[in-house]
Amino acid sequence: MIPRACLWLCAFALWYALAANAADGTRPNIVVILADDFGYSDVSAYGGPVPTPNLDRMAREGTRFTQAYVASPICSPSRCGLITGQHPARWRITSFLQTRAGNRACGQDDFLDPNAPSLPRALKAAGYATAHIGKWHLGGGRDVTNAPKFAAYGYDVGLGTYESPAPHPDITGTNWIWSAHDRVKRWERTQWMVDRTIAFLRERKGTPCFVNLWLDDTHTPFHPSREQLAAIGVTSEKPTEEQRFRAVLGEMDKQIGRFMDGLRELGLEQNTLVLFLGDNGALPHFGTRNGPLRGSKLSLYEGGIRVPLIARWPARVPGESVNAETVISGLDFFPTLCAIADAKLPRGMTFDGVDMSAALFGKAPVRSEALFFEYGRNTNSFAFPRAARQRSPNVAVREGKWKLLVNSDGSDVELYDMEADASETTNVAAKHPKQAAQMKKTALAWRKSLP
């Protein structure tokens, strides 16, 4: 038996090591790059047709996940899941936040409740400098004038777009996505956001930093410059929408390369964890942006909720690695990043995400908890894909290799084997009735538990 004094000594040594790591700045900087309306195959490393050399470089230098999900197939609830680690409907966010009347029609609040658990607040309490730079879309804009400021969620700095409580004047000449009155033009916004992120890291060098770099791209409208169009070989005075998209994606990729180069120039590359992902599937998808996956933004089929996820941290995350086994969710970011940053989880909160830090460090943990999704509480106030085949039932659950979709009234049961049929081509509910019945019961009980 180990003497009690030895146990106390070991415990003290562990505490001292953790404290020393926190004091000498070895905890990583954490930057979450979120691309808007970004398809599973918008990164060429995921099989897409548009070259993305810098994102591909990030994937080569880190780990690429092929079974990553977000909490919703639309922006605001997806972002809510990232911030809170909880299903967004727990906080009455079920669609994109809009006008007060539109929010009421969707049965949702006007902004994220500041009493919700907040990842930046938890990291700030652990000694991190925190910033939000870019699109927020969790309250503010349109006629919602009383949304809490960024500080209420734990941010030291908040530089938002018009859909935020603190729109930056450089990028919000009017109360809309983009206007000719903006000092920074639509095609310059990603560069502006990257510049502000690098400046934040430079000014706080020596302090661990957490930054949300949440881009407007690749959301519509697509407004590339002539130079950006020329960079992909388009010289027409009337480029197609798909050509404009390709130019926007090329510019976004270029700026992400600039960001990675900036980390290197600051001497921060080795100890900065960068996570890149989309907030939901692509729309318009041009038939290729979501790759082999069925569905799109506004759908609970895989094309709406499965996204590319790349993790890069040269000091810890394995390079040239692909994790095709682990089912990982944006809901996991809160507990995972708190574990990596040695930050305490808030007391009295139950999280729907789990600590998946082992997956970042080269392991392939198997998810033991089911993942749940919902979208489309009524047919009047929620938008859906135009193509009937892309419109899904409004509740879904992923459990092991199985995924079930069902409407909240119990109709239209669909069961898919994700290992054999990630494209969701063959409904096997009739072939596996017991599996379908069990998962339907689980999914509907979960849906009934939501506000």
Looking at the structure, do residues 383 and 300 belong to the same domain, yes or no?
no
- Six-digit token pair at 322? 């692909």
46 lies in a domain? Answer: yes
410 with 297, same domain: the answer is: no
Q: Residue 39: what pLDDT?
A: 98
Pick 1 or 419 by higher pLDDT: 419
Percent of the chain with pLDDT strictly greater than 70:
94
Last residue of a domain, one of 362, 387, 418: 362
- Assess if residue 8 is contained within a domain: no
Number of domains comprising the chain = 2
pLDDT score of 11: 39
* 385 and 342 part of one domain: no
Residue 314 in contact with residue 82, Cβ under 8 Å? no
What average pLDDT score do residues 116-134 get?
A: 98
What whole-number percentage of the chain has pLDDT above 90? 93
> Rounded distance, CA 326 to CA 67, Å?
6
In a domain? residue 305:
yes
pLDDT surpasses 60 at 13? no
Region of poorest pLDDT, from 175-179, 215-219, 375-379: 175-179
In this predicted structure, the answer to whether residue 23 has a pLDDT above a threshold of 90 is no
For CA atoms 179, 150, 215, 99, give the dihedral sign. Answer: negative
Quick one: 342 and 423 in the same domain? no
Same domain flag for 394 and 329: no
Is it true that the peptide bond before 218 is cis, omega within 30 degrees of 0?
A: yes
Task: Name the strand (E) or helix (H) holding 284.
Answer: none
Cα(183)–Cα(16) distance, integer angstroms: 50
What's the pLDDT at 290? Answer: 98
**291 pLDDT more than 70:** yes
Q: What is the 3-state secondary structure (H, E, C) of 18-65?
A: HHHHHHCCCCCEEEEEEECCCCCCCCHHHCCCCCCHHHHHHHHCCEEE
pLDDT at 393: 98
Hey, what are 209's tokens? 């930093």
Question: In this predicted model, which residue has the larger pLDDT, 165 or 4?
Answer: 165
- Domain residue limits at 310: 27-362
Whether residue 238 lies inside any domain: the answer is: yes
325's tokens: 């086994």
Do 173 and 288 share a domain, yes or no? yes
pLDDT at residue number 366: 96
Rg, C-alpha atoms of the chain: 22
244 and 307 share one domain: yes
Please state the rounded mean pLDDT for residues 27-43: 98
- What's residue 10's pLDDT? 41
Q: Which three-class secondary structure state does DSSP give residue 212?
A: strand
1: in domain:
no
Residue 298 lies in a domain: yes
Tens digit of each residue's pLDDT (9 = 90 or more) over 82-102: 999 999 999 999 999 999 999
**Residue 59 and residue 157 in one domain:** yes
DSSP 80-130: HHHHHSS-GGGGT--S----HHHHHHTT--SB--TTS--HHHHHHHTT-EE
Residues 337 and 437 in one domain: no
Residue 12 belongs to a domain: no
Look at residue 442 and tell me whether its pLDDT is greater than 70. yes
Residue range 194-253, pLDDT digits in tens? 999 999 999 999 999 999 999 999 999 999 999 999 999 999 999 999 999 999 999 999
pLDDT at 26: 78
| Final residue in a domain of this structure, among 362, 385, 413 | 362
The partner residues of 134 in beta bridges, in order of sequence, read 160, 214
pLDDT at residue 78, as a whole number: 98
Q: Which residue has the tokens 């599996």?
A: 435
Residues ≥6 apart with Cβ < 8 Å to 232: 243, 246, 247, 250
Q: What is the mean pLDDT of the chain?
A: 94
Q: Report the pLDDT value the prediction gives residue 46, as an integer from 0 to 100.
A: 98
- The CATH number of residue 413's host domain is 3.30.1120.10
Query: Which residues partner with 372 through β-bridges?
Result: 397
Same domain, 193 and 263: yes
* Domain of residue 136, CATH code: 3.40.720.10
Domain C-terminal end among 312, 332, 362:
362
pTM, rounded to two decimals: 0.94
> Among positive and negative, which fits the CA dihedral 248, 253, 256, 257?
negative
Residues 291 and 388 in one domain: no
What local confidence, expressed as pLDDT, does residue 158 receive? 98
Whether 410 is covered by a domain: the verdict is yes
Whether 246 and 280 map to the same domain: the answer is yes
